[in-house]
Amino acid sequence: MSESEGCCKCCCSFILTLGLTALFLWLSLRTDKPKCSIEYFYLPALNKSLNSQQNTSIYFILQLNNPNKDKGIRYENVNLTFSVLDNLNKTHQIGYKTIGGFYQGHNKKAKKKDFVETRGFNGTAVSGEALNNKTVVFRVDFATAVKYKILLWFTKRHKLMLGANVVVDSSGEKVDQKKGIRLKSCAPEPGGYYSAQVAFLVNLLIITFSNFRLRS
Q: Given the rule CB under 6 A, which residues bind ligand NAG?
A: 42, 47, 49-50, 77, 79, 88-89, 132-133, 143-145, 159, 171-173
CB 113 within 8 A of CB 99: no
CA 113 to chain CA centroid, Å, is 18
Minimum distance of ligand NAG from residue 179's CB (angstroms): 15
Closest by Cα among 123, 107, 119, 37 to 82: 119
Minimum distance of ligand NAG from residue 115's CB (angstroms): 13
Cα separations (Å) of 167 from 2, 61, 80, 85, 172?
A: 75, 15, 17, 10, 10
- Quick one: 38 or 143, whose CB is closer to ligand NAG? 143
Minimum distance of ligand NAG from residue 126's CB (angstroms): 15
CB 60 within 8 A of CB 116: yes
Minimum distance of ligand NAG from residue 49's CB (angstroms): 4
- Quick one: 2 or 132, whose CB is closer to ligand NAG? 132
- Quick one: 42 or 138, whose CB is closer to ligand NAG? 42
- Quick one: 37 or 171, whose CB is closer to ligand NAG? 171
For the chain, counts of helices (H) and of strands (E): 3, 12
Question: Cα dihedral sign for 46, 47, 52, 56?
Answer: negative
Residues written for the chain? 216
Minimum distance of ligand NAG from residue 172's CB (angstroms): 5
Minimum distance of ligand NAG from residue 39's CB (angstroms): 14
- Quick one: 59 or 194, whose CB is closer to ligand NAG? 59
Mark 179-200 as b/e (b = at least 16 C-beta within 10 Å): ebbebeeeeeeeeeeeeeebee
- Quick one: 22 or 45, whose CB is closer to ligand NAG? 45
Q: CA-CA distance, 145 to 23, in Å (whole number)?
A: 27
